[in-house]
């Protein structure tokens, strides 16, 4: 899917901005604080409903306004079908969603047809920070390639939240355990989906790192969120006293971890900051390659301020790989950029005013 028209109203300093992007590379240039990242945040919101910088809608709404509104036109290049979608989010927390003129309740059908991958500054946080970012990373890929993933995830979230509420309320054992069957069934499915996905991602990543001639090898290892060698049902039964003590469910896919190591040592302990950044970009790229290979769906790529993250040679390698995916790409930079053999559509922004050209 590619975006052919984007309309933004009331998001950060973008009071009213529109663009008709090219199907390939698009570059948005402007001074610091001009609104470049905000345009990328808007595109990210169109796909998943929230920004890559925050999940708090109040931060995104232009100060003094009550809501932001986004609309887009998309083209499925393979089928030549056009779609339209729209999103309005209010300060009071309500959200309105439309897909092809019909109101919808969940954004999942839009996310499904409009995969967006954000490559952002502070990329090394994926390696340095806690496991939740790495779970989201795995889930991004798994959601887009495993048909049953989203349904299992919904059932799991609901059963987990109900079970945790029962634990918080100190409810009788029978009430807490009444959620176990659903939790184990959906949790076991999620575990298998993520595990399979990690295996595929590992081989794509290994090949990619080889072709990029990086000096390090990387092993990805998925840990379920319970002890090795037993299934989730047994782990949940064994954890009951702990769940009571901490008043929350202490085992399951919500406690899973993606271990990233190189030669048997955790990447965060052994790789330099620069190597970590390059590795994170390669990991995202491997997801894009895998998505393209499995589903033939190119995701839209948002690349915020790449020159601040990687040196010229590294960013050249990354952009060269992205160019091979035939994806629609949105880059931001304070300076105009050029790419070998790849035309770039230019946009410039100043004080939230977006226009075509430099
Ligand atoms: N809720 C908001 N309302 C109005 N302006 C905002 C809001 N949030 C951020 N801004 C402003 O929007 C501008 C654009 O930020 P950003 O997109 O990060 O700029 P850039 O990426 O070009 O450096 C900044 O000047 C920031 O102060
Ligand atoms: Mg920025």
Length of the chain: 358
Q: Can you tell me the distance from the alpha carbon of 259 to that of 261, in angstroms, rounded to the nearest whole number?
A: 6
Q: Reply yes or no on whether the pLDDT at 215 is more than 80.
A: no
% of the chain exceeding 70 in pLDDT: 100
CATH 3.40.50.300 domain position(s) in the chain: 1-115+297-358
- Helix 312-324 vs helix 273-295: crossing angle, to nearest 10: 10
**What is the value of pTM for the model shown?**
0.94
According to DSSP, the residues that pair with 6 across neighbouring strands are: 19, 72
Phi-psi category of 304—alpha, beta or left, where left has phi over 0 and alpha has psi -120 to 50? beta
34 Cβ closer than 6 Å to some ligand 1 atom: yes
CATH 1.20.1050.90 domain position(s) in the chain: 127-296
Phi-psi category of 10—alpha, beta or left, where left has phi over 0 and alpha has psi -120 to 50? left
Counting ligands in written order, which one lies closest to the CA of residue 57? Answer: 1
13 Cβ closer than 6 Å to some ligand 1 atom: yes
Closest residue CA from atom 26 of ligand 1: 33
38 Cβ closer than 6 Å to some ligand 1 atom: yes
Counting ligands in written order, which one lies closest to the CA of residue 122? Answer: 2
Distances in whole angstroms, Cα of residue 147 to Cα of each of 90, 106, 114: 31, 17, 15
Atom of ligand 1 nearest to the CA of 58: 1
120 Cβ closer than 6 Å to some ligand 1 atom: no
Encode pLDDT of 26-62 as tens digits: 999 999 999 999 999 999 999 999 999 999 999 999 9
Distance in Å, CA 353 to ligand 2 centroid: 15
Closest residue CA from atom 14 of ligand 1: 35
35 Cβ closer than 6 Å to some ligand 1 atom: yes
Q: What is the DSSP string of 70-87?
A: EEEEEEETTTTEEEEEEE
193 compared with 123, residue with greater pLDDT: 193
CB-CB contact of 52 with 76 (8 Å) = no
Q: What is the pLDDT of residue 287?
A: 97
Q: Reply yes or no on whether the pLDDT at 314 is more than 90.
A: no
Counting ligands in written order, which one lies closest to the CA of residue 12? Answer: 1
**Residue 334, helix vs strand vs coil:** coil
CATH class assigned to 127-296: mainly alpha
Atom of ligand 1 nearest to the CA of 35: 17
State the average pLDDT over residues 70-77. Answer: 96
Strands 25-29 and 344-350: parallel
317 Cβ closer than 6 Å to some ligand 1 atom: no
348 Cβ closer than 6 Å to some ligand 1 atom: no
Q: Reply yes or no on whether the pLDDT at 349 is more than 90.
A: yes
The CATH number of 1-115+297-358 is 3.40.50.300
309 pLDDT band (50/70/90 cuts)? Answer: confident
């Amino acid at each position: 899917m590619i975006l052919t028209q984007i309309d933004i109203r009331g998001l950060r300093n973008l009071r009213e901005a529109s663009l008709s992007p090219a199907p390939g590379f698009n570059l948005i240039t402007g001074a610091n604080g001009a609104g470049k990242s905000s345009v990328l945040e808007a595109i990210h919101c169109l796909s998943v409903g929230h920004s890559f910088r925050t999940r708090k809608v109040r931060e995104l709404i232009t100060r003094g306004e009550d809501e932001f509104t986004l609309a887009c036109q998309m083209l499925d290049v393979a089928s030549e079908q056009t779609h339209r979608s729209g999103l309005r989010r209010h300060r009071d927390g309500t959200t309105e969603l439309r897909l092809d003129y019909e109101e919808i309740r969940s954004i999942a059908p839009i996310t499904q047809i409009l995969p967006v991958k954000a490559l952002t500054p502070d990329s090394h946080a994926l390696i340095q920070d806690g496991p939740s970012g790495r779970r989201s990373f795995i889930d991004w890929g798994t959601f887009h390639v495993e048909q049953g993933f989203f349904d299992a995830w919904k059932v799991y979230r609901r059963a987990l939240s109900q079970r945790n509420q029962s634990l918080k309320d100190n409810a009788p054992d029978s009430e807490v355990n009444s959620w176990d069957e659903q939790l184990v069934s959906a949790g076991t499915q999620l575990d298998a989906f993520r595990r399979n996905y990690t295996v595929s991602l590992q081989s794509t990543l290994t090949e990619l790192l080889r072709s990029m001639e990086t000096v390090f090898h990387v092993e990805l290892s998925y840990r379920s969120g319970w002890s090795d060698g037993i299934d989730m049902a047994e782990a949940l039964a064994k954890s009951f006293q702990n769940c009571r003590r901490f008043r929350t469910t202490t085992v399951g896919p919500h406690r899973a971890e993606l271990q990233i190591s190189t030669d048997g040592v955790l990447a965060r302990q052994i790789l330099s900051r620069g190597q970590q950044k390059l590795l994170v970009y390669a990991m995202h790229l491997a997801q894009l390659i895998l998505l393209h290979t499995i589903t033939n769906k190119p995701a839209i790529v948002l690349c915020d301020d790449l020159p601040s993250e990687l040196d010229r040679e590294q960013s050249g390698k990354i952009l060269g790989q992205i160019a091979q995916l035939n994806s629609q790409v949105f880059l931001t930079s304070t300076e105009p950029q050029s790419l070998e053999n790849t035309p770039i559509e230019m946009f410039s922004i100043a004080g939230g005013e977006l226009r075509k050209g430099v």
